[in-house]
Amino acid sequence: MKVKDNIRYISTRGHEEEVNSAQAIIRGLAPDGGLYVPAVLPEMSFKLTSMGGVAYRDIAYKVIHSFFTDFSLEDLHKCTDGAYDEKFDTPLIAPVTHTSEAEFLELYHGRTAAFKDMALSILPYLLINSLRKERVDKNVAILTATSGDTGKAALEGFADVTGTDIIVFYPKKGISEIQRRQMVTQRGANTHVYGILGNFDDAQKGVKEIFADAEFAKALAARGYLLSSANSINIGRLVPQIAYYVAAYIRLVEAGRIGNGDKINLVVPTGNFGNILAGWYAAQIGLPVNKLICASNENNVLTDFINTGVYDTNRKFVITSSPSMDILVSSNLERLLWHLSGGNSQEITGYMKLLKKNGKYRLKPDTRAAMNEMFYGGYATGRSVNAAITKLWNEERYLIDTHTAVGYKVYLNYKKQTGDDTVTVIASTASAYKFADKIAACLGLPKEEDSFAYFNAIKKKTGVPIPEGLRRLAQKPILHDLSVKPGDMIKAVDYVLK
Ligand SMILES: *Cc1c(COP(=O)(O)O)cnc(C)c1O
């Protein structure tokens, strides 16, 4: 198999210009408001059979190289070597843990204890490299909307990176106290954190509107700035995520749990649809995948969408125990639909217009059929999620967080419903300690007055080590305490970049 030597990136909404991956990474969003997608999907530039014992960083290198063909091999090696090192608390980077029912792909061993570290530890390297390669000598201001975990991972990745400013907007209601404290204690002169009086959808909409404001971009350019994004709307976020599904497969073969070539299922607790889309891309480049199981919490727009073909955001936004998945408008779905429609940007633009106007759209039959070939959608309620955490701990002494538990519960339902006994990998997206109060309750621990007080109790009961980045969080000084209304996000950016 060979890499198609020049993968180009185009907008899902039909903007004509093709760019290379470096340009797509710098821009974040396409000029017409669409998302960058590879115009042609590559094949893996390596054989899975030859990958036993290969280190994570080298698997990542190979996968990313298949997509970002304009990077020199040397530059790309520097990116993967710089990203996947001792910042992670295990040399495996993304270990797979076997339980009686499923394989848990642990993606939370990075500095901020959620899977966002997998991509955000490499994105700064990719971006700086892209700027150099494309000879852009502007400062980059990275705008980020977060449902709780992206913000901290982006702040940590970009703090004090020369030539960048990082501006994060988080919803004041919904995220866990530990997630909030991680962000507001962030050090680094180039870091800026704002709470917004709204939810994640408001934050993401605000960021997209700022991107779409050509006047504002001009004004910033005159001041020497250009805008980019650390959200999964940036292709530089998405492609590194493909690597861990490939790595999981390789580890399962090494452990003898599957034979080379056997298909696996992937279960992904889903919010903005980035993580599961990375799984879909993995399948497209040749990873043997049977079903992609899209797991939602009570904000189950995607479950209904997969089961009916109608995407309908006209419903109550629910604040759940898995806040990083409290999302009604999942941006990356646009990429999937573009691919499934055979690259029909007119069709996609039509859906997005309807979404904006009516908050809903219905898929064309062909596109729907293509989606249902691979995707299964299900959701789990808070109560059933808690019971799943308790059961897994009691029966197997394995601790998972509330988001991962959504995936686990939906998988158990799927298995019961279909009888499918394909070996299944569940993306384990956060450390249980990030949601310590919820987890403590599942473990039957007594109530404490604040979230940090649960750390030691959980540690004592389970023996699971407290992630380094969370341990001293309660003692750290609060460095950011600003908030804005969603409508004023642009003013905040203007102020920061004066
Ligand atoms: C971001 C996040 C998700 C959702 O991932 P998407 O790529 O947005 O679908 C799930 N779990 C956790 C812990 C997260 O931080």
pLDDT digits (tens, 9 = 90+) for 433-470: 999 999 999 999 999 988 899 999 999 999 999 999 99
Mean pLDDT of 183-200: 96
CA-148 nearest atom, ligand 1? 15
Is residue 160 within 8 Å of 106, Cβ to Cβ?
A: no
178: CA distance to ligand 1 center in Å?
Answer: 16
The best mutation among 104, 144, 146, 149 to test binding of ligand 1, ranked by most ligand atoms within 8 Å of the C-beta, falls on: 149
7: CA distance to ligand 1 center in Å?
Answer: 27
**Apex CA 112: angle with CA 87 and CA 441, to 5°?**
135
The best mutation among 429, 431, 435 to test binding of ligand 1, ranked by most ligand atoms within 8 Å of the C-beta, falls on: 429
Res 347: pLDDT: 98
CA-275 nearest atom, ligand 1? 7
CA-404 nearest atom, ligand 1? 11
Dist CA 422 CA 287 (whole Å): 15
Of 280, 390, 414, the residue nearest 336 (C-alpha): 280
Dist CA 232 CA 186 (whole Å): 21
The best mutation among 144, 168, 270, 335 to test binding of ligand 1, ranked by most ligand atoms within 8 Å of the C-beta, falls on: 270
Q: Distances in Å between the alpha carbon of 269 and those of 129, 147, 402?
A: 31, 14, 10
Please tell me the residue having the least CA distance from ligand 1 atom 1. 324
Mean pLDDT of 367-396: 98
272: CA distance to ligand 1 center in Å?
Answer: 7
147: CA distance to ligand 1 center in Å?
Answer: 8
119: CA distance to ligand 1 center in Å?
Answer: 12
Res 5: pLDDT: 63
Dist CA 380 CA 39 (whole Å): 35
Dist CA 212 CA 196 (whole Å): 20
CA-403 nearest atom, ligand 1? 11
CA-430 nearest atom, ligand 1? 13
Q: Which residues pair with 378 in a beta bridge?
A: 295
Residue-range domains of the chain with CATH: 96-113+236-467 (3.40.50.1100)
The best mutation among 105, 115, 237 to test binding of ligand 1, ranked by most ligand atoms within 8 Å of the C-beta, falls on: 115
Dist CA 170 CA 482 (whole Å): 11
45: confidence class by pLDDT, cuts 50, 70, 90: confident
Dist CA 222 CA 261 (whole Å): 54
Is residue 345 within 8 Å of 30, Cβ to Cβ?
A: no
Dump pLDDT digits (tens) for 135-174.
Answer: 999 999 999 999 899 999 999 999 999 999 999 999 998 8
135: CA distance to ligand 1 center in Å?
Answer: 33
Dump pLDDT digits (tens) for 297-341.
Answer: 999 999 999 999 999 999 999 999 999 999 999 999 999 999 999
- Exposed / middle / buried, residue 224 (Cβ in 10 Å: 0-12, 13-18, 19+): exposed
Is residue 13 within 8 Å of 33, Cβ to Cβ?
A: yes
Up-side HSE of residue 256: CA atoms within 13 Å toward CB?
A: 0
Helix (H) or strand (E) holding 425: strand 424-428
CA-149 nearest atom, ligand 1? 15
Token output for 334? 């646009």
Q: Which residues pair with 228 in a beta bridge?
A: 142
CA-272 nearest atom, ligand 1? 8
Mean pLDDT of 195-206: 93
The best mutation among 183, 245, 275, 439 to test binding of ligand 1, ranked by most ligand atoms within 8 Å of the C-beta, falls on: 275
Percent of the chain with pLDDT over 90: 94
Dump pLDDT digits (tens) for 254-270.
Answer: 999 999 999 999 999 99
The count of other CB atoms within 10 Å of the CB of residue 422 is 14
Question: Residues near 16 by Cβ (< 8 Å), separated by ≥ 6?
Answer: none
Dump pLDDT digits (tens) for 23-38.
Answer: 999 999 998 999 999 9
Dist CA 437 CA 354 (whole Å): 40
Q: Distances in Å between the alpha carbon of 197 and those of 17, 41, 329?
A: 37, 40, 18
Of 157, 152, 153, 115, the residue nearest 140 (C-alpha): 157
The binding-site residues of ligand 1, defined as CB within 6 angstroms of any ligand atom, are 114, 116, 149, 232, 269-275, 324-325, 403, 429-430
Dist CA 424 CA 426 (whole Å): 6
Sign of CA dihedral 454, 458, 461, 463: negative
377: CA distance to ligand 1 center in Å?
Answer: 16
CA-274 nearest atom, ligand 1? 7
Token output for 450? 């604040």
328: CA distance to ligand 1 center in Å?
Answer: 13
Name the pairing type of β-strands 36-38 and 9-11: antiparallel
Res 404: pLDDT: 98
